[in-house]
Amino acid sequence: MSDHHDTLTHRTGPRVGTIVWGVILVLLGLGVAGVGLGLTIDLQAALIGLLALAGVGLLVKALVGRES
In the chain, domain spans: 16-67
Residue 20's contacts (CB-CB under 8 Å, 6 or more residues apart) are: 54, 57, 58
Mean pLDDT of 8-14: 72
Nearest to 31 by CA among 20, 17, 45: 45
Mean pLDDT of 22-31: 91
Confidence grade of residue 64 (pLDDT, cut at 50, 70, 90): confident
Residue 46: per-residue pLDDT = 92
pTM of structure = 0.68
